[in-house]
Structure 1
Amino acid sequence: MTTLTLPDTGPAGADRPPTRPDAGPVDDVLVVRRDRTVVAFDATKIAVALTKAFLAVEGDEAAASSRVRAEVDALTDAVQRALVRYVGPGDVLHIEVIQDQVELALMRAGHQQVARAYVLYREARARARTAASVASTAPGGLALPSTDAATDALHVTDDDGGRAPLDTARLAQVVAEACEGLEDVDAQRVVDEAVRNLYDGIARRELSQALVLAARSLVETEPAYTYVSARLLLDELRREVLTTLVGTPTEATQAELGRRYGDVLRASVQRGIATGQLDPVLAEFDLDRLGDAIRPERDLQFTFLGLQTLYDRYLLHDADVRFELPQTFFLRIAMGLAEQEPGDRDARAIEFYELLSSFDFLASTPTLFNAGTTRPQLSSCFLTTVEDDLDGIFGAIKDNALLAKYSGGLGNDWTPVRGTGAWITGTNGRSSGIVPFLKIANDTAVAVNQGGKRKGAVCAYLETWHIDVEEFLDLRKNTGDDRRRTHDMNTANWVPDLFLQRVEADAHWTLFSPDEVGDLHDRYGKDFARAYEAYEAAAERGELTVHRRVRAKDLWRRMLTMLFETGHPWITFKDPCNLRSPQQHTGVVHSSNLCTEITLNTVATRPGPAAASDAEVAVCNLGSVNLARHVTAEGIDVERLRRTVTTAVRMLDNVIDINLYTIPAAERSNRRHRPIGLGLMGFADALTTLGLPYASEEAVTFADRSMELISHAAISASNDLAVERGSYASFEGSLWSQGVLPIDSLELLAQARDGDVELDRSTTLDWDALRERVRTSGMRNSNVMAIAPTATIANIAGVNPSIEPLFRNLYVKSNMSGEFTVVNADLVAELKDRGLWDEVMVGDLKYFDGQLGPIARIPDEVKERFATAFELDPMWLVRAAARRQKWIDQAQSLNLYVAEPNGRQLDELYRAAWRHGCKTTYYLRSQSRTAVEKSTLRGTDGKLNAVSPVVPAPDPTAACAVDDQDCEACQ
């Protein structure tokens, strides 16, 4: 028998387990009552409870009302349908879970007053039970609540089916240890909540889950319980790993583990090699020395979301049983990245471990997945150009599958493929355009699910002059011919400057098929404008077969409309990506990647030995500095930041030589140009530490200065590596070789636009000396910086992702690991200091969707510092991004948040991003006009509060619309 305990499903509820594919009839489910007896499920009890709730609100006449009877029957059915999603025959539910579903059904049906009565009744009964309970003191100083003698007879079922009395001493010890050192947490509350859900014969693993769920249910009122939850999960993880490695059931406290961590490292490496998962070279490291370097206390810095994410998707396992602990995980990554280091590679591994385990820097998800393994595909992003014939098209789709297999995120440039109506010489027919092939690419991404770890992810790019651009805009619509829709694939417009200049001039715009104007694909800036105008003249003379003239403003308006309605295609800018590219001498940037931060050259992949040597699939290797770890209230710790960046660049450069390449064109490109993408995360957390509102001139200046420091340190580090290891192969002729750094390339963009770039160009560091060093000593990497979304690695590190503003101060985040209550701990600390943190404030935050603006008793200064994404004027996001962009040789994943967008606002916003020199934008996020669901809230006198409104685009803390709203393809 298995037991599945569902958590509270209210607005700030804990995780909801995934839907059971084998769910059976709810009638066969067993129910654990509060006295811990187990009875058969009885739907009539639900109907009785609902009827009583209606009677409490509508009076005795409700009992005879056919309307109420019909409503009760419908609600009872709804509750049963909800329950059957999570349980199968023989499963066990706690009575509280059923009651939670009754509340939710009432709210979804719009019976707010009835739901309120039901909640108040439950609260009254809970208080009565608490008052009547008899507490028996357990070892460890914690009380185990009991309602009758059955508590003393509770047994736990072991993994082998054996039964043993509940070890109350260890239960108390584990909870006490989990709460140790944390302020404002109460171990007794955790024990009380956990024991309430126990029953005789509970499985040992379910006992651990009951403790975790008990702690996490308290997170919304006290954020520190997220660390309690994580430590309780860590206890289960320790047991799982130690039992696997030792071979017999083994438990250990965190203190006991600290003395054995070195042995665990050696055993986990041996286990990984024996199962064929780890590279045998790891056994050649001095594991005793590395074991001595382990920092066991760093296990305790995880939030619950961070550790659960690590547990579910990153730690190595054998038959779904983990054999890595957090610190051995970080050491495995460090060894994997140091395995080709000359000299003392053990010292390098320790240096890398220090950076990773402290959360000062984290490599991207593919690197964390695969470093040190026998299949080290460590790169994050791949960019391809699709050739205009069937061999090229299906060769590119095959490449997509091979690249996605080991967690790569894809950006495809489809501009060269001829458009609808174009002549096909081989068949003497007309082309059906790009859409049918995009549909195949979409389905390929779905089919290749990266080993089950996450969905495949791809973004298609198309230049704005392509004859099929209007159909391209419709790809993500939910209406129309589904055979011409790509519901799972991201799309992006690759927009030349000339188009936006035509929009501003209210001029016409001509669409072409690339088989007749193929050189437009490789041109940019004024060179593109001259060629484009020549083709327009040729079209007017009747020299081109396929073309169509439209009003530029109309096309622009439709682009923005579809972006608002479907979240796609994103708006990215071709000319700044190319005019500021250090690699102009080796080719053209034809697209960005899955998340719009990578801007690298690609050369179309064609089959056959003659062309194979020229094909290049661009590859980028990503990692992010945790800016929050490098900032104090006094400002940026410059030396610490420089040390972090220097080591991080070395780690990312090592990826290129260690990496497993699934197609030759990717290896050729990566080894020739050696691009890396160092980014950042925790920007909003850094602002909070500094006491700066996101919407302020000071925050814009901080974005500028912090990125200048990272840029200077990263370029210096790549230059140092060039001196040590040699420059990348295509260095000569690059902007680097000419002494043109990213800050200098702004002038190239300004010249191409005749000065039409609005951007502060001030500097504070010694760039002249660095410029000369780069020119004379070289660069190890053709590209060095790119700011990725960092959704998942930011979860691990416990900070806000990337450069994002605060999403909400209290909300529920969903990903593949479940649903997690996220509370802004900094805000809670501020409100505590001001005497404002109480149950009513929790209720207010829920009611107002985590926004402070409508809460009258919060001071305006606090509202400004903790303003959430949709409370900000989005122009602040553009201004901060533009100030960063001047230092970055690639781009950044720039989400824009608009609460209630309109055409004028979007037009001004995106043209401002273009004019300020931004290279790309990412998701447009907007709020729905109405909240879609209400749910009840305990602890606030039965007030009703709102779940966050639905946002058309995915969870704004995430990206790429993959992995249940987590962009792991990049980070």
Structure 2
Amino acid sequence: MAVSPTFSETNSSPESTLGSVRKRNGVVAAFDGVRIHKAIEKAFRAEKRLTPDEMLSVDLTNAIDAHANAVIAWSAAQDDLNVEAIQDEVERVLMAAGAHGVARRYILYREQHAEKRRARALWYRRADGSEAVLDTDALRASIEDACAGLGPDVSAEPVVKEALGSLYAGVTESEIAQSMILAARSRVEIEPGYSSAAARLLLGVLYGEATGTPSRIVDADRIYASYFKTYFTQAVEAKLLNPEMLTFDLDSLAAAIHGERDLQFQFLGLQTLYDRYLIQDKGRRIELPQLFWMRVAMGLSLREDDREARAIEFYTLLSQFHFTSATPTLFNAGTLHSQLSSCYLTTVPDDLGGIFSSIRDNALLSKWAGGLGNDWTGVRALGAEITGTGGKSQGVIPFLKVASDTAVAVNQGGKRKGAVCAYLETWHLDIEHFLDLRKNTGDDRRRTHDMNTANWIPDLFMQRVAAGGQWTLFSPNDVPDLHDTYGAAFEARYTEYERQADAGQIALFKRVPALDLWRKMLAALFETGHPWITFKDPSNVRSPQQHVGVVHNSNLCTEILLNTSEEETAVCNLGSINLQAHLTDGALDHARLQATIQTAVRMLDNVIDINYYPTPQAKTANLRHRPVGLGVMGFQDALYTLGSSYASDAAVQFADESMEAISYYAFLASSQLAAERGAYPTYQGSLWSQGQLPIDTIDRLAKERGADVLMDRSSTLDWTVVRSAIQQSGMRNSNVLAIAPTATISNIVGVSQSIEPTYKNLYVKSNLSGEFTQVNTALVQDLKALGLWDAEMRDDLKYFDGSLLEIERIPQEIRDRYRTAFEIDAHWIIECASRRQKWIDMGQSLNLYMDQPSGKKLHEMYFLAWAKGLKTTYYLRTVAATQVEKSTLDINRRSIQPRWMKNQSASADIQVERVAETCTLGAECEACQ
């Protein structure tokens, strides 16, 4: 029999064009194409019943070589090559060539070797170093438990196969657990239900870690019943919890625990909880999820008369994901240092001692997980005379550098990065230097790479920009009352100071075209993301507390608007309603919403009395005014449930309707709490005491501006009930509503962040807990209903970077409903925000998105936000330079270019889009939520 040259003779270096391959045990080795050839040859011999000594025909040899070369060519195109993927490709090539019998032999060959590997991997290493036989039946049972009840598309078998395939002899216990979790989470982009399966597998790990014994999720109720008292006793003995926690009736609280609620978590949420929230003792988690919710509930009930009943009430709300307290409350409730507040706002005085006292206060406030907003407008400008020495001031910028470095050094008790935002009013002489603080060029001693910045803009400046007028910059020591005035009074004093400057009575000033300064502000915002655009006058004119002070700035995330002074550090305590959980039969469930809000406002008010205050100024302000900030999350999810696009009149109407209801019930709840506990001390003289609600203040703003505010004034509820309650009992809290970013807490409960539109329908989220594939579950459900959710659709989503607009086989109505943030015209986001703002006594953390920004578009967008009566805006988001990983896709087989290729040069190495967790997409604002 004639024999053709062997594969190895004609391809002496089959791995020459290839790099490395990842083996099942994680080891990376050089690619060896000979192995592929030998495996295919064995399959052919087995099918033809040939012994190793019998020669192959030329035709068979050529066929073997062709199949092997096809697999090698495929392998060369892969970025992340692993053994299992190569073997899958061998099967595919054989089947595609019609060699079905050979393919069956190869599959049998693979399974035989898999069994041998499993046999070799039947022993593992325990945590104490001892060896034991791996119980594969128990492993399979754990995975089946995790997949149970998640629908027909969530199967345990592929998870079992992948988990076992990754094991090796001597694997550790923790690696076995991780192999199961990773096997489940790797399938999330195929079926979102695997996120729940991965979470349940992590639960099993957590149960075992806390209790010290292997545990199954089906035994949750038994675990909680037996471990409840043990946990609280152990945590108190370890000085991790307040000893007062042991004075509760622990038996009655244990009976209220619902272990099955652990199954609500998605993987991202539970992993975040596991990594950063659950109490640990010497590196071991001793707190379980339902104990976490109960610990927070108990911590907020410490001063209640019927503590157990209130703790159960609070626990029920938290554990059902109807309402979630902000991160500092979740971190610290029930501990020895119960710093539960989210935000601190300070005013920095214009003297050296006061400046460094403020920086010291920043450190103390940041240590216990508070996000900071500093008003620096009162500090004299560069070139101003120093009264005590007769020298010239270096201005604000050098001190901001020190404040920025302090935020880095004091990293919130080692739990997360410290964060601060500096505010400066637009008339300050240092404003142009302030705009450059976040630039990567220039003198680094005058840069604050780790500090957020925000412009505090008076209406007069916006009017001068619109009119093409001039703008005058002053040092605050020359114009001391501008800092504390707003509206028409500010305009009168400002124009008087301009007259004095023209008359030579003020020497240090600078005059610039207002439009030129505005352009610099927008250019800096586009280039660096800072300073943010926030508005002084609507924040003050519509403030209910204008009788006792001035709002000089906002907080780290631009939603808190409270008075500050040298004597008072404003404090706010936050929590958010899960709007998605308050829909029933396609409509807002008012009864459930009212019940949630009544309990939530009580929880927030309790924070004020239980709270640990790092500075006396913070305690003074919080006890005098008792502000709280009730917000929302899951707005986008609610729209999906209602079948509405964010870019629609229906979304605008729902924003209005939902915020009116939240406002109605929140103000009523605070008034009812005042009837029980008394009104806040500075209530008399407030707008509340004058019968003025937020919606009544829109006309006040229009009067101060001398022009109409383009804000809807309609309402649907009978507000006489709320007005009557406030007139009779007053308000327990000076401020009640603020919409924070909810970055982390929305991850925990598995809903869309705050009032944000969907970022992308498919992307990888990166945060302190790792990387998580995020798929729009609502979209997947709709596509399944249409029979469109398949491998090709998943590839299309990757190719089009999470966008549906160019996937023509999807109905237009679905494409419109699932527009992503950069596909929604900003005017829809602003209109929804305006409808909310009319009901809110503080502000909302509002990100704005622009696909292809230009100076003209930015100008129009921010002027619209101001004209619509918004008090603040937050991050400006533009299209990222990196996109969803596409290395596994053949982008040339599609005739349509995706928008990411049209809008930028295609990169040869396109990376996964990684979105930082904190705030919505940025890296700072998780200090609030």
Task: Please state if 1:853 is matched with 2:821.
Answer: no
Change in CA separation of 1:325 and 1:132 when aligned onto 2, cut-off 3 Å: farther
CA contact (8 A) 1:298 1:358 kept: yes
Query: How far apart, CA to CA, are the structure 1 residues paired with 2:854 and 2:157?
Result: 52
Q: 2:456 aligns with which of 479, 488, 494?
A: 494
Partner of 1:212: 181
Deviation at 1:936, TM superposition (A): 2.4
1:117–1:340 distance in 2 versus 1, CA, 3 Å: closer
Q: Counterpart of 1:777?
A: 729
Deviations 1:682-702 (A, max 9, x none): 000000000011111111010
Is 1:967 aligned to 2:892, yes or no? Answer: no
Equivalent AA in structure 2 for residue 646 of structure 1: Q
Correspondence for 1:168: 136
Q: In the aligned structure 2, how far is the partner of 1:266 from the partner of 1:415?
A: 52
Residue 58 of structure 1: aligned partner? none
Tell me the secondary structure at the aligned position of residue 327 of structure 1: helix
Q: 1:120 to 1:362 in 2, by over 3 A?
A: closer
Encode CA deviations 1:537-558: one digit per residue, 9 max, x unaligned: 0000111121000000010011
1:171 partner amino acid:
L
SS for the counterpart of 1:367 is helix
**Pairing of 1:406-485 with structure 2 (within 5 A):** 406-485=368-447
Q: Equivalent residues in 2 for 1:366-381 (5 A)? A: 366-381=328-343
Q: Secondary structure at the match of 2:454?
A: strand
Instruction: Give the root-mean-square deviation of aligned CA atoms.
Output: 2.9
C-alpha distance in 1, partners of 2:885/2:259?
43
Of 734, 739, 759, the residue aligned with 1:787 is: 739
Instruction: Identify the residue that residue 99 of structure 1 maps to in structure 2.
Output: none
Matched, 1:670 2:633: no
Give the TM-score of the pair, scaled to structure 1. 0.84
Is it true that 1:195 corresponds to 2:157 in the alignment? no
* 1:549 alignment counterpart: 511
Q: Displacement of 1:751 after TM fit?
A: 1.2
Is 2:602 aligned against 1:650? yes
Q: 2:557 corresponds to which residue?
A: 595
**Partner in structure 1 of residue 13 of structure 2:** none
Alignment of 1:620-769 (within 5 A): 620-769=572-721
Post-superposition shift, 1:153?
4.8
Distance 1:379 1:438 in 2: 24
Matched, 1:186 2:146: no
Given that 2:766 and 2:914 are in contact with CA atoms closer than 8 Å, whether structure 1 keeps it comes out as no
| Amino acid aligned to 1:967 | C
Opposite residue 763 of structure 1, the aligned amino acid is: S
Instruction: Please give the alpha-carbon distance, in whole angstroms, between the structure 2 residues aligned to 1:788 and 1:240.
Output: 34
Any idea what SS the aligned residue of 1:160 has?
coil
- Paired residue secondary structure (1:571): strand
2:274 maps to: 311
Q: 1:559 aligns with which of 515, 521, 524?
A: 521
Give 1:177's aligned residue.
145
Q: C-alpha displacement at 1:941, in angstroms? A: 12
Structure 2 residue runs of 5 or longer lacking an equivalent are 1-19, 38-71, 95-102, 905-909
Q: Which of the residues 216, 221, 225 maps onto 2:194?
A: 225
Q: Aligned partners of 2:258, 2:783: CA distance in 1, in Å?
A: 33
Query: C-alpha displacement at 1:743, in angstroms?
Result: 1.0
State the shift of 1:271 in Å.
Answer: 1.1
C-alpha spacing 1:397/1:51, structure 2 compared with 1 (3 Å): farther
5 Å-filtered alignment, 1:519-538, equals 519-538=481-500
How far apart are 1:518 and its partner, in Å? Answer: 1.1
Aligned counterpart, 1:5? none
- The CA distance in 1 between the partners of 2:79 and 2:435, in whole Å, is 46
Cα gap change, 1:305 to 1:791, in 2 (>3 Å):
same
Residue identity in the other structure for 1:261:
Y
* 1:226–1:303 Cα contact (<8 Å) kept: yes
Letter in 2 for 1:185: V
Structure 1 residues 52, 574: CA separation in 2 closer, same or farther (over 3 Å shift)? farther
Q: Partners of 2:899 and 2:35 in 1: how far apart? A: 25
The equivalent residue for 2:68 is none
SS of structure 2 residue aligned to 1:338: coil
Amino acid at match of 1:302: F
**Aligned equivalents of 2:23, 2:308: Cα separation in 1:** 56
| 1:767-786 Cα shifts (integer Å, max 9, x gaps) | 12311321231100000000
Q: What's the % identity of the aligned pairs?
A: 55
- The answer to whether the 8 A contact 1:120-1:942 is kept is no
Question: SS state of the match for residue 260, structure 1?
Answer: helix
Report the equivalent of 2:888.
937
Corresponding residue for 2:258? 295
Aligned equivalent of 1:330: 293
SS at match of 1:968: helix
User: Which residue in 2 is equivalent to 1:509?
Assistant: 471
CA distance in 2, matches of 1:123, 1:936: 18
Give the aligned residue type for 1:349.
Answer: A
1:444 Cα shift?
0.3
Asked if 2 retains the 8 angstrom alpha-carbon contact of 1:621 and 1:677, the reply is yes
Q: Give the Cα separation in 1 of the matches to 2:603 and 2:321.
A: 15
Check conservation: 1:927, 1:951, Cα contact below 8 A.
no
Match of 1:157 in 2: 125
Aligned mates of 2:718, 2:378 — CA distance in 1:
43
Write the letter of the residue equivalent to 2:245.
Answer: L
Q: Distance in 2 between matches of 1:790 and 1:521?
A: 31
In 2: Cα distance, 1:117 partner to 1:872 partner: 40
Change in 2 beyond 3 A, CA 1:466/1:337? same
Q: Which amino acid aligns with 2:184?
A: A
Which secondary structure does the structure 2 equivalent of 1:526 belong to? helix
Matched, 1:263 2:201: no
Task: Supply the distance in 1 between the matched residues of 2:699 and 2:871 (Cα, whole angstroms).
Answer: 15
Counterparts of 1:548 and 1:951 in 2: how far apart (Å)? 46
Query: What's the CA shift for 1:179?
Result: 0.4
* SS of structure 1 residue aligned to 2:763: strand
Label 1:542 to 1:316 Cα distance change in 2 as closer, same or farther (>3 A).
Answer: same
SS at match of 2:174: helix
CA distance in 2 between counterparts of 1:590 and 1:440 reads: 21
Determine whether 1:955 maps to 2:895.
Answer: no
Deviation above 6 Å: which 4+ runs of structure 1? Answer: 48-53, 111-120, 128-131, 938-954
The separation in 2 between residues aligned to 1:946 and 1:274, in whole angstroms, is 58
Does the residue aligned with 2:927 lie in a helix, a strand or coil?
coil
CA distance in 1, matches of 2:927, 2:681: 27
Question: Could you tell me how far apart the structure 1 residues matched to 2:171 and 2:241 are?
Answer: 36
- Please say if 1:124 is aligned against 2:95: no
Q: CA deviation at 1:286?
A: 1.1
Cα drift, residue 156 of structure 1:
1.3
**1:701–1:172 distance in 2 versus 1, CA, 3 Å:** same
* Alpha-carbon distance in structure 2 between the residues aligned to 1:116 and 1:276: 49
Residue aligning to 1:275:
238
Shift of 1:125: 3.8
Aligned residues of 1:925 and 1:956 also touching (Cα < 8 A): no
The answer on whether the counterparts of 2:346 and 2:569 sit within 8 Å (CA) in structure 1 is yes
Q: Secondary structure at the match of 2:573?
A: strand
Q: Secondary structure at the match of 1:600?
A: coil
Gapped runs of 5+ residues in structure 1? 1-29, 54-101, 137-142, 244-249, 605-614
TM-score (norm 2): 0.88
Indicate conservation of the 8 Å contact 2:702/2:708, yes or no.
Answer: yes
CA distance in 2, matches of 1:532, 1:387: 21
Task: Supply the distance in 2 between the matched residues of 1:954 and 1:209 (Cα, whole angstroms).
Answer: 22
Residue number in structure 2 paired with 1:76: none
* Partner SS for 1:687: helix
